[in-house]
Amino acid sequence: MKKVKITAVRTASYSDLIAQYENPIEHACDVQEGQTWIANGWEKPEGFCDSAWDSISAFVMTLAHGGGNFYDGWMKNPKSAMISCNDGFRPVSFYLEALDEDV
């Protein structure tokens, strides 16, 4: 099984949607662009957002087990994926890439 590098490449915040639909919350997403984590196979990296993990974990698991080439050539690197978390107010786009290093 391979390690998978997860990189936050883009964060967004839709203040108009937040103002219109969201109840005030004390803690919102604190992921920063450029932040990285290493997933040891299917294992969620320590400190990684639970909600974001729900969105990307199936792709991480596939890459960790040698799979890839999602959607018949979607990515230039077939051992990678660009997946966003499911937060409609503050989405984060994550670049996932299988490493040559085994777990």
Residue 38, pLDDT above cutoff 90: yes
Alpha carbons within 13 A on the beta-carbon side of 30: 4
User: In terms of Cα–Cα distance, which of 20, 33, 75, 29 is closest to 55?
Assistant: 29
What is residue 101's predicted lDDT score, i.e. its pLDDT?
84
For the whole model, what pTM was predicted? 0.93
What is residue 42's predicted lDDT score, i.e. its pLDDT?
80
The arithmetic mean of pLDDT across residues 36-42, rounded, is: 92
What is residue 103's predicted lDDT score, i.e. its pLDDT?
85
The arithmetic mean of pLDDT across residues 40-66, rounded, is: 94
Residues above pLDDT 70, as percent of the chain: 100
Q: What is the DSSP string of 28-73?
A: -----TT-EEEEETTBPPTT--HHHHHHHHHHHHHHHTT---TTTT
* Local structure of residue 23 (DSSP, 8 states): P
